[in-house]
Chains A and B, each alone.
Chain A
Amino acid sequence: MNKNIFLIIVCIILLGSGASWVIQKANSSYELTVIKKVPAFSFITQDGLSFTEESFHKKATVLDFIFTSCAGPCPIMTNNMTHLYEDYENVPEVQFVSVTVDPKIDNASTLKEYAKANGVKDDRWQFLTSDIESIKDLKKNGFMLYAGELPRGHAIKFVLIDQDGQIRKYYDGTDKASMAVLRKDLNNIVNEIQS
């Protein structure tokens, strides 16, 4: 009997340490490599203010490319972004940026209305516009994203940018499971900023 109890205890200790090891491995498995730095740019926000690559500093940023009259994937993307915007309400280190790919229609005032319609009530979520060539250039060369026939041919990615203005990872902005990964990574960046 004593021998059995001893065996059970040994097994439990082994299982427990194995489990702790696996959990620890899992927790440290969220790798975030540095892909590249976002190049210099200067766009205009929905409030008519300037937004440049400097605006990424000391913030964790989630950025996407949309246009307000888009009926395809944009509503899903903006809906996902809205959830993030609401959930990260008390984390001032996190900001959200949506860049229009249709500057002809999406001027500052259109974007402001779009922001309001999506429940944006502070400066944690910025909507940017510029001229079509600058947008195309930033998207294609700055973010290495597809920029074919804009506005319709725009990428559906969310881009995670760190406190030094570096691109860290891309996510499918329409995928629920990808959003869960994004949240994990975002928290890790915030931890980096806070420490």
Chain B
Amino acid sequence: MNTFRKFSYLSTGLTYLLIFVGGLVRVAGAGMGCPDWPKCFDRWIPPTSLEQLPDHIDPAKFNIVLAWIEYSNRLFGALVGLIITITAFLAFKYYKHVNRIKWSVLAAFFLTLVEGWLGSILVDTVLNPINITLHLFMALVIVMLLLYAAQEAYYVENPDSEKMSRYPSNLKWMFGLLAGILLLDVVLGTEIRGGLEMIRKDNPMVESQFLLNMLGPFKYIHTILGFIITGFSGMLWYRLVNNSINPSKIMTQISTAILGLVLTQIIMGELLVFLNVIPTIQLFHMWIASWILGLVMVQYTAWNQSQLTHE
């Protein structure tokens, strides 16, 4: 494995962890833990006592736990940004002539800069819900671009890995559609969470279950799309695993994993509705959605490799 490939997997893995940490900031309600950006209460290391606060920031906003939760997201974000920057350099070094690798990593790099800037806007707008959604959406695009580059580099090094397999050829639209619906459903999911928060603000002291009932019809659309996603990933599984010749091991495993995770998501979603809106489940519900998106990307690259091999 060359250095680029190592770094592409490293940056993908770390970005996934960062998405988890970002979601944790959200469910812990720590988004305003540092009311300024990029510093925290005007310090590079968050303050430990009220005396260290600058005059222009209301001390009521100081909460050391929330400050550190938010600040770890920023510190970790900076680290991941650095790793992605190195990955981008390595892409140009190792795959100067492979445009799809080079440009997708470069796009990921630029989007990472935008993502940092969006983080500052989030603080400026006191967590505007649309910005929160955009912040997650951008992270998902970045992780998919990184994973795409990593897989493509793998196939450049191992061009024969899909030599034996034969998949149906007209599936490109299905991958695109599945990824599109998945992204849309993530956005709807964040809207449910944002909507819940707004209703909670207008109705303090009311239990989450009742608040959920007050939400508009888009909570049903989120579930319906979930079932459509199940149908699509089932169809893809059937066509790639059952309806193909010699599917590769990676294809079989990934397709099965996607199906399993989609079903897990439905169970988790229903748990959130019927049990209670439990923050940890909420967090994993979002995180697994990001995994599914990544796996669909891996599935696509494997299929695409097979198509290219047999052209």
Contacts and interface: CB of A to CB of B under 8 A. Distances in A.
Interface string A179-193: 011111011001100
Interface residues of A, number: 34
Contacts of B32: 177, 180-181
Contacts of B279: 19-20, 23
Contacts of A172: 58, 60
Contacts of B65: 25-26, 29
Interface string B126-167: 100000000000000000000000000000000000000000
Q: Which of B60, B63, B204 has the most CB of A within 10 A?
A: B60
Interface string A4-24: 000000001001100110110
Contact of A186 (B20, B63, B204): B204
B58 A171 contact: yes
Contact of B126 (A25, A30, A177): A177
Interface residues of B, number: 28
Interface stretch (A42-50, A66-74, A84-92, A117-125): A84-92
Contact of A16 (B27, B30, B206, B280): B280
A3 interface: no
B61 A181 contact: yes
A29 B204 CA distance: 19
Nearest to A194: B205
B60 A22 contact: no
Given A90-B203, A180-B32, A23 B64 contact: no
Interface of B: 20, 24, 27-30, 32, 35, 58-61, 63-66, 69, 126, 201-206, 279-280, 283-284
